[in-house]
Amino acid sequence: MKKIRLGIIGTGMAWERLHYPAILELGDKYEIAALCNRTFKDAENFAKKINLNLNNVYDNCDEMLKRPDIDAVDILVPIEYNYEISEKVAKAGKNFICEKPLASNMNDARKFLELSKKYNVKIMIAENFRYNEENNKIKELVESKKIGDVIYFIRNNVSCFPCEMTKDTFAAAEWRQHPKFKGGAFLDAALHDIAAIRHIFGAVECVHAFGKPQPQDYNPYFSINSNILFENGVIGQYTYFPSGIETQKPPVGFRIYGTNGQIYLEDKSSGIINVFYNDGSSEQIKYTPERGFYNELLNFYNTLNGTEEISVTPEIEYGDVKMVFDILESISSKNVIYVDSPSPIKNIDLEETQETTSPYIQ
């Protein structure tokens, strides 16, 4: 099958630590044709690292997108630029992958849904949690009724964003510490959990959420606690606490309770899914952690070569993003908010933020 020549927009940490290692592993399937970054020197340094001719390095994506030899584009930019850059790439007629979320507000998210049909391009949203092995194995366990009918679940995510802000981590990025978009870390990080539970349990009827406000910019609340009712009747409780430290071992993690047993995942890196049955027996199901990036890029390659369909489309990611903003709306309004409802979507103004123009465009 044809090797895909990729143009990269955004050569920062997400590219270098997440997508590039997967590209290396898929070495016979992809070729890096060009690099674009708002800080030219950073793209230039990466080009030298991989022995890419410096004529293929840009700080302006418009110029890069004019190249007919680029088959597809991988977009890894700060969240507030996702829609703007994606629209540019689509207009250029390039198939592309865009890191989640597809947009930083609901108005842009709605417009994103038009890009594929309008410009006749294939689009994948890189939500790696929908491609991770543990979530797909848990989905199979649930659908095959290994623990009977699922009654409810608890997903508890405790992390310490402030602890990571001064380290060589994603939390050190200025745009994450002082985001120009609603939701902060809840949109950037908790979105993964939202995507995973929607992947496993399906469409959501409604949410009712509460948050404890906090003054720092990185997230509007110390913690967010959400009660979730799925259309299939499953009830769930999701807590996101990015201002804490998990001291309990093993942690609450992800626990799913059914009529015949329980599924327990300590965390996404544990490598083991525990299944406990009401008769006292149990089993441990092994998986390889952090395979989402490899799996999504393999899916994208197979799609462009005509052997698969894209698993995570803009339409799927739209639902995940909408649920994030619905939870935030539930907190502020103190109301139950319907998520995947057949009724028209309420047009909530979530764009009360500074106008931004992408530095990747001149």
**pLDDT by residue (tens digit) across 154-177?**
999 999 999 999 999 999 999 999
**Which helix or strand (DSSP H or E) is residue 326 part of?**
helix 314-333
Specify whether the CB–CB gap between 186 and 219 falls below 8 A.
yes
Helices and strands counted in the chain (H then E)? 14, 15
Q: How far is CA 171 from the centre of its chain?
A: 16
Using CA atoms, how far residue 342 sits from 203, 248, 273, 314, in Å, is 11, 41, 35, 18
Distance separating alpha carbons of residues 263 and 256, to the nearest angstrom = 5
What percent of the chain has a predicted confidence (pLDDT) above 90? 92
Query: 3-state DSSP call for residue 262?
Result: strand
What pTM value is reported for the model?
A: 0.92
Which run of H or E residues covers position 292? helix 292-304
Alpha helices in 66-206, H assignment, sequence order = 82-91, 106-112, 115-119, 133-143, 161-164, 174-177, 185, 191-201
CATH numbers and ranges of domains, the chain: 4-129+293-312 (3.40.50.720), 130-289+322-338 (3.30.360.10)
- Chain segment 107-161, per-residue pLDDT in tens: 999 999 999 999 999 999 999 999 999 999 999 999 999 999 999 999 999 999 9
For 75-94, the pLDDT digits (tens) are 999 999 999 999 999 999 99
> Which DSSP string corresponds to 1-61?
-PPEEEEEE--SHHIIIIIHHHHHHTTTTEEEEEEE-SSHHHHHHHHHHTT--GGGEES-H
CA angle 40, 46, 47 (to 5 degrees): 85
Is residue 356's pLDDT more than 60? Answer: no
Nearest to 71 by CA among 52, 94, 92, 89: 94
pLDDT one-digit tens code per residue, 229-262: 999 999 999 999 999 999 988 999 999 999 999 9
Residue 26 vs residues 16, 266, 272, 294, 298: alpha-carbon distances, Å? 15, 29, 25, 8, 7
pLDDT of residue 279: 98
Q: What is the pLDDT of residue 143?
A: 98
Q: Rounded to the nearest 5 degrees, what angle is found at the Cα of 245, between the Cα atoms of 240 and 249? A: 100
pLDDT number for residue 1: 72
Cα angle for residues 154, 155, 160 (degrees, 5° grid): 140
Decide if 186 contacts 196 (C-beta within 8 A): no
For range 179-183, the mean pLDDT? 95
Distance CA 166, CA 60 (A): 30
pLDDT surpassing 70 at residue 342: no
d(CA 347, CA 107): 8
Identity of the amino acid at 73: V
Q: State the Cα–Cα distance between residues 356 and 105, nearest whole angstrom.
A: 13
Residue 359 pLDDT level (bands cut at 50, 70, 90): low
